[in-house]
Structure 1
Amino acid sequence: MSLESGIYTIKCKLNDNLVGRHLVEDRSGNPKPVYALGAGNEPPQWVVEKCEEGYILSNNGGRAASIDDKLFAILMEEEFDSAENWVIEAQPHQGENLYTVKTKSQSKAWSQTTEVGSEPDTFIIAVDYFTVRESLPVQYLPQNLFEFVPISDMQD
């Protein structure tokens, strides 16, 4: 069950926090942190593009990339080459619309941390080694599970 290209909201299973860039950012072209956002935020929209080498994920015009093992959005087109192609794997045995988002090598994955971000009511999304529970099928921890909800489903 692969994820189709489209526009989605993304939530972390850990505490149902929406994933995206904070509404208040500096105006530079520097990469912007991507957070697990607390309650009261508008659902950020993600463009998910399926390609031969995985998926390209973009939020608010910035492409998702790992910088120093944290999730960022790259804004400058000339830097898009440093953006990641992600491996998105369905985990239907753990819930509807739940996925893991891993690096191309599949050695690291998105993980919501309890570390507070630079903006109030935000948590850092790490791109780090992950732990699984030994079982068949493999069980991922809630901080490594992300719910992808198509925007069209939200409007119905």
Structure 2
Amino acid sequence: MDTLSSGTYFIRNLRFPVSRFHIEDKSLNPKAVYTLPEGAEEQPWNIERVGDGYILSNPGGAPTAAIPHKGQEYLFALLNGERPTKWKIESVISAGFSLYVIKSADDGKFWVSSAPEHKNPTEENQIEIKRLILQPVEPPRYPPEAVFEIVRS
């Protein structure tokens, strides 16, 4: 299994960059992380190996966490010192080079993306954190919305 070393990376789902949107309120509340439209400014992530998992920090150094919102969990960047989620990053060799699934080290819920249909992200484009029902096959087959390209910046 391919493992990532600590460093800066770009994260994409299909051809769409994953990041915070450049327009946000100025509060210290957690900030949503989205699948942005193709051509949006791509910003590098800091991926830090911590024990058997990773801490993923969005541009600006804000670590990320799964936070409940409207009955589901979504990915947010934390600005106020809250405890980040520890993530597992697993290579999906059957899908291709530099392709991974990202899931919570605690409960195994996956990052799941939805392709943007508008210039500005909407709640539908926020990265959702959820369980996947997978067929019992080896190697596992993941839906495309749960597979992310992670490449050095």
Bigger fraction of residues in helix: 1
Q: Which residue of 1 aligns with 2:120?
A: 120
> Runs of 5+ in structure 2 lacking a partner?
none
The share of aligned pairs that are identical, in percent, is 35
RMSD: 1.9
User: Matches of 2:92 and 2:24 in 1, distance apart?
Assistant: 33
**For 2:24, what is the secondary structure of its paired residue?**
coil
**For 2:127, what is the secondary structure of its paired residue?**
strand
Q: Which residue of 2 aligns with 1:25?
A: 24
Q: Which residue of 1 aligns with 2:76?
A: 72
> Where do 4+ consecutive residues of structure 1 move more than 2 Å?
113-117, 131-135
Deviation at 1:114, TM superposition (A): 5.6
Tell me if the contact between 1:116 and 1:124 (Cα under 8 Å) persists in the aligned partners. no
Deviation at 1:115, TM superposition (A): 8.1
Aligned length: 145
Tell me if the contact between 2:34 and 2:121 (Cα under 8 Å) persists in the aligned partners. no
Length-normalised TM-score, structure 1: 0.85
Bigger fraction of residues in strand: 1
Deviation at 1:121, TM superposition (A): 4.0
Over residues 53-106 of structure 1, what are the superposed CA-to-partner deviations in whole Å (9 max), with x where a residue is unaligned? 4100001221110011100000112x2x2x101011111121110011011135
Q: Which residue of 2 aligns with 1:90?
A: 91
Length-normalised TM-score, structure 2: 0.87
> Runs of 5+ in structure 1 lacking a partner?
152-156
